[in-house]
């Protein structure tokens, strides 16, 4: 069991909703059509865990004026369509949340904007479980790997960063958690290889069903 945890902060994409695989495919197709051909590994390294504003700036720098806005419009339209067609939860997260949410304060801190999270979390039924405790990189000066969104979430939730843990699936996310002085739990069941998540103050795990035990909450609370 970990020591003195006052707040568990969840990333959204790839931790709660299994949307990163959708995003990966759409990124590859949209950017390829725009003239920036990338393989899956390159897309993971460049974009997974980054805020849309940061990705748009990279597209603009690579492809020229107006490219970032075009990417944003096409990517997000296609992403909404794919989510509407069917978005699963990350495997095992429902069971994990049943065990964790009754026992400790929780929130979401994501690189995604609020509209996107309302859509993905709403589609999967998770939005009511976190409503009022959802924070976005759009609220702070810098997105991940900067610590801003995690520090913002902790401040809004009244928690000491040293007493927070972060559940992440991206390289930039675990870097942000470390920079915030928080303990990171890196989920290796997603797209980012385990070696990209490994580092100080970071526990790696490959199954969301193991998370309650790692946090010290082995079974759902009694009704």
Residues designated as active site: 11
The set of residues, in sequence order, having a beta carbon less than 8 Å from that of 94 and lying 6+ positions away, is none
Please tell me the distance from the alpha carbon of residue 46 to that of residue 125, in angstroms, as a whole number: 30
List the structure tokens of 180: 């915030």
Name the 3-class secondary structure at 191: coil
Q: Are 51 and 150 in contact (CB under 8 A)?
A: no
CA distances (Å), origin 16, targets 50, 187, 192: 16, 11, 15
Q: Are 5 and 164 in contact (CB under 8 A)?
A: yes
DSSP string, 152-168: HHHHHHT--GGGEEEEE
Site of tokens 């007493």? 163
């Amino acid at each position: 069991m970990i020591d003195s945890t006052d707040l568990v902060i969840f990333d959204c994409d790839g931790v709660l909703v299994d949307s990163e695989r959708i995003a990966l495919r759409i990124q590859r197709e949209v950017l390829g059509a725009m003239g920036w051909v990338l393989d899956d590994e390159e897309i993971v390294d460049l974009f997974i865990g980054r805020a849309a504003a940061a990705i748009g700036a990279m597209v603009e720098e690579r492809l020229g004026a107006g490219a970032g806005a075009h990417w944003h419009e096409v990517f997000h339209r296609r992403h909404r369509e794919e989510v509407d067609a069917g978005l699963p939860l990350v495997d095992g997260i429902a069971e994990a949340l049943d065990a964790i949410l009754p026992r400790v304060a929780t929130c979401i801190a994501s690189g995604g904007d609020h509209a996107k999270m309302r859509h993905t979390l709403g589609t999967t039924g998770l939005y009511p479980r976190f409503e009022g405790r959802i924070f976005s990189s759009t609220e702070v000066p810098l997105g991940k790997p900067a610590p801003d969104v995690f520090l913002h979430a902790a401040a809004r939730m009244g928690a000491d960063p040293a007493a927070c843990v972060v559940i992440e699936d991206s390289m930039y996310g675990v870097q942000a958690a470390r920079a915030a002085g928080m303990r990171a739990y890196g989920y290796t069941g997603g797209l980012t290889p385990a070696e990209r998540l490994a580092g100080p103050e970071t526990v790696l795990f490959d199954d969301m069903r193991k998370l309650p035990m790692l946090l010290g909450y082995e079974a759902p609370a009694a009704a």
